[in-house]
Structure 1
Amino acid sequence: MNKLIYIILLFAVFFAACNKKPKPIVDQQNKAYYTCSMHPQVHEDHDGNCPICGMKLIRVELTDAASANTITLNATQLLLAGIQTDTIREENTGIEKTLSGTVTTNENTSAEFSARLPGRVQQLFVRAVGEKVTIGQPVYSLYSEDLQEAEKEYLLAKQQQKVLHNPDIDYNQLISAAENKLKLWGLSVSQIKSLAATQKVAATTTILSNVTGTVSDIAVHEGDYVTEGMTVLKTQGLNNLWVEAQLYASEAENYKENALVNVSFPDLGGQIIKGKVEFINPELSEASKVDLIRISIPNPQGLIRPGMQAYIALSGGNNRSLAVSASAILTNSNGSVVWVKNTNGSFSPRMIKTGAGNQNYLPILSGVSAGDVVVTIGAYLLNSEAIFKKGSDQMDGMKM
């Protein structure tokens, strides 16, 4: 009897197990996570707001298991991270001499705006150093009796031509002479046309800028009297700057004007740009017996400012090879790694081997090829993001 009961219970358990539906296997690897553009350390598995700043979280896709080492950033994250890249190519990896220099303004782009006629400054429209001015922009309003008389002469010549019709007088010549005088004193064509249309001489006249640049000095104040030729303000162009440094006379003969050099800026994370040797002083300093060298550098984004420290790498040899920027390399006990930009815009780490080079470029022995695009600024941020994502350093377990 006990044996029969045991067999019945066994069959009951078997049929219950057969009728039970299997539970689907849950993929433990998330296909996406949510993070904050301002606080990338935040990682959530659901949509919502950032627990730190309250901003809406953004979705970051993980396409598959192979993407565990791949980081994809949206446009906002790229902007905030300040990611900058460079292409692998041949560079001079030979010994370089590094000079410490200082960024200065390019005097060739400096300009001075001067008063063209005497008068009293009623109102200044450009008030602060650092403001940008363009040609045609109002600079100040001027009360000038001389200008008022010139405007009256112009209106009188126009009126005489219209009323008198004297064949012995060349009214066009009179009008042209009066108009040219106004132009020489700083009035624009539109201002002269407006004067002719209203036929009224205003108490003050707005003087427009004939220079473009960033204001470096303002020499007058409201209420000041200006004379002809007196400096009103000075401007400088910041799209192209100089880096000035000193080197010994025995070294100056090794460098030629128009030669290209690498210039780096510690205040910009070691960013390297190409500069051109524009000037080498033919005369030595009497006190120190050193020579002045001047490098011209582009500054289209305005990141470089006068007064910044700069390092100029002057090549002592010409040992060119396939090279990677030193600022792109992350190194630990496992070796060296760079972050490579993929064709789809994502970033992946890659182990590399390098040889001995200089402080700017190292020769590549393996790991990357010519044409690969590597991150030169922002690699540490990508590595930190990858650690948050994977939970370990991206170089752990990687092989060449």
Structure 2
Amino acid sequence: MKALLKRTTMKNNQIKYLLLAFTATIILAACKQKVPAKPETMDMVKKSNAYYTCSMHPQIHEDHPGDCPICSMKLIKVESTSNMDNMNIPSLRLTAIQVQLADIQTDTVREQNIGDQKTLTGTVTTDENKAEDISARIPGRIQRLFVKTIGEKIGVGQAIYSIYSEELLEAEREYLLASQQQKQLNNPDVDYAQLIDAAAHKLQLWGLSQSQIKTLASSGKVSAIVPILSKVNGTVSDIMVREGDYVTEGMPIMKTQGLNRLWVEAQLYANETGNYKENNIVKVSFPDLDDALIKGKVEFINPELSATSKVDLIRISIPNPQGLIRPGMQAYIAIGGGNSSSLAVPTSAVLTNGKGSIVYVKNTDGSFSPRMIKTGTGNQNYLPILSGLNSGDVVVINGAYLLNSEAIFKNGSGNTMAGMKM
């Protein structure tokens, strides 16, 4: 009986050992099998990749933050993603700080004036019609200059220099003598009033003002050194004499310019002059004044070409009531054109190569994607859109070259336009 129980117990133990061994084998085999990654996880791995680059030198690509080895600027992080729902067109995602550091600027596609207008680069000059020359009325020696600086403003009645002149001194004596004779002699056969008027007129011709002549009459004393007063308003542009110089009658003392109205001079090619006429109204902007825009009038088109450059001179008259515009400033003149409107983008937004033209569009999720477009003939500022964009699309107008270089680096130059069809 004991032997039977012992055999039964051994048989049960063997069955338990077999079950345990079988279970262990199954668990071990299951552990050796690889758990497949979820499709979503694989897609995210394939779709995203981050690197660090320099906004000034986009050829720099690092896998860690730091400074640019060329200019030492802080590297910005760029996350590149591939939008599989948009025919595999690559896109770039930047944070707000990265957009600011890279100076990415955008604008909305809308109707713009694409009239054919030409922009000329001109230079502000003085209006020679407003120039005045102050010359010596009598010979003498410049005793003192009251205006010694070019650019100084002078007004009517302001003393500009004093002169010692024997001729002027003698004319003063003649005037006083005629006045004294009228008071003392009172000869009815002599017209003393006419003598006084003739002497006063002579003093005026030699540069004295009415107030100076009245002062001379009331004081009864001649002066060897007489101040000469300005008869014009303007800004001194040149001074031809120095203190102590001797001058002759008609010799220039100084030159003034009226700066309340100026000229802008530019050059045209000979075949373009027929498109413009005198008295045409044009727009003039000044980069030194934050592109302030004013209206000017074509005042002169030279009928003769330059002997050396074979170009024509065009002159624009502009107002300058506040005196903000100064001779020597650069100016841009918009001439010609029209009011032709079309859906357009700024010229700075369009990148063109041998395969066509693209712009970078800002997507609703904040990423940037290239888009192939067709453009027409516009002007210097805008290009009309024939296809590829719709009104309201947001395009990159500054920084497109940076985005394009990143796309080329990640996808190759041949893949920048991959999947894009017109």
For Structure 1 versus Structure 2, the TM-score category normalised by the shorter chain is 0.5 to 0.7
Rounded to whole Å, the distance in 1 between the matches of 2:222 and 2:381 is 64
Rounded to whole Å, the distance in 1 between the matches of 2:311 and 2:222 is 60
1:216 corresponds to: 237
1:110 aligns with 2:131: yes
1:164 corresponds to: 185
Displacement of 1:259 in angstroms is 0.5
Name the Cα RMSD after superposition.
2.9
1:297 aligns with 2:318: yes
Rounded to whole Å, the distance in 2 between the matches of 1:172 and 1:186 is 21
Q: Is the CA contact 1:112–1:235 (under 8 Å) kept in the aligned structure 2?
A: yes
SS of alignment partner, residue 275 of structure 2: coil
Displacement of 1:322 in angstroms is 11
- Which contiguous aligned blocks of 4+ residues in structure 1 show a shift greater than 3 angstroms? 320-323, 332-335, 355-363
Rounded to whole Å, the distance in 2 between the matches of 1:360 and 1:278 is 26
Displacement of 1:274 in angstroms is 1.0
1:134 corresponds to: 155
SS of alignment partner, residue 326 of structure 2: coil
Displacement of 1:319 in angstroms is 1.7
Q: Is the CA contact 1:278–1:294 (under 8 Å) kept in the aligned structure 2?
A: yes
2:331 corresponds to: 310
1:235 equivalent among 240, 256, 267: 256
1:285 aligns with 2:306: yes
> What amino acid sits opposite 2:338 in the alignment?
N
Rounded to whole Å, the distance in 2 between the matches of 1:206 and 1:177 is 21
Rounded to whole Å, the distance in 1 between the matches of 2:169 and 2:141 is 13
Cα deviations across residues 66-98 of structure 1 (Å, max 9, x unaligned)?
xxxxxxxxxxxxxxxxxxxxxxxxx96512111
1:97 equivalent among 118, 125, 131: 118
2:339 equivalent among 319, 329, 333: 319
Unaligned runs of 5+ in 1: 1-90, 327-331, 336-354, 368-400
1:191 aligns with 2:212: yes
1:155 equivalent among 145, 154, 176: 176
1:201 corresponds to: 222
> What amino acid sits opposite 2:306 in the alignment?
S
> What amino acid sits opposite 1:155 in the alignment?
L
2:246 corresponds to: 225
1:270 corresponds to: 291
Q: What are the equivalent positions in structure 2 for 1:27-176 lying under 5 Å apart?
A: 93-176=114-197
Rounded to whole Å, the distance in 2 between the matches of 1:361 and 1:300 is 32
1:244 equivalent among 262, 265, 271: 265
- Structure showing greater radius of gyration is 2
So what's the TM-score if we normalise by structure 1?
A: 0.58
2:17 corresponds to: none
Which has the larger displacement, 279-288 or 122-131?
279-288
Rounded to whole Å, the distance in 2 between the matches of 1:300 and 1:360 is 29
Higher helix fraction (1 or 2): 2
> What amino acid sits opposite 2:217 in the alignment?
A
Displacement of 1:224 in angstroms is 0.9
Unaligned runs of 5+ in 2: 1-111, 347-359, 364-375, 385-389, 393-422
Cα deviations across residues 245-267 of structure 1 (Å, max 9, x unaligned)?
11111110000111111111222
Displacement of 1:366 in angstroms is 9.2
Q: Is the CA contact 1:124–1:141 (under 8 Å) kept in the aligned structure 2?
A: yes
SS of alignment partner, residue 253 of structure 1: helix
Displacement of 1:269 in angstroms is 2.0
> What amino acid sits opposite 1:312 in the alignment?
I
Q: Is the CA contact 1:356–1:362 (under 8 Å) kept in the aligned structure 2?
A: yes
1:260 equivalent among 253, 278, 281: 281
1:180 equivalent among 168, 191, 201: 201
SS of alignment partner, residue 103 of structure 1: strand
Aligned residues: 250
Cα deviations across residues 121-159 of structure 1 (Å, max 9, x unaligned)?
111110100100111110111111111100000000000
SS of alignment partner, residue 291 of structure 1: strand
Rounded to whole Å, the distance in 2 between the matches of 1:295 and 1:237 is 16
Cα deviations across residues 155-187 of structure 1 (Å, max 9, x unaligned)?
000000101011111111111110100011111
Q: Residues 213 and 297 of structure 1: is their aligned pair in 2 closer, same or farther, counting only changes over 3 Å? A: same
Q: Is the CA contact 2:118–2:380 (under 8 Å) kept in the aligned structure 1?
A: no
Q: Is the CA contact 1:112–1:211 (under 8 Å) kept in the aligned structure 2?
A: no
Rounded to whole Å, the distance in 2 between the matches of 1:176 and 1:333 is 84
Displacement of 1:356 in angstroms is 9.8
Displacement of 1:203 in angstroms is 2.1
1:344 corresponds to: none
Cα deviations across residues 347-372 of structure 1 (Å, max 9, x unaligned)?
xxxxxxxx997557999x999xxxxx
> What amino acid sits opposite 2:315 in the alignment?
R
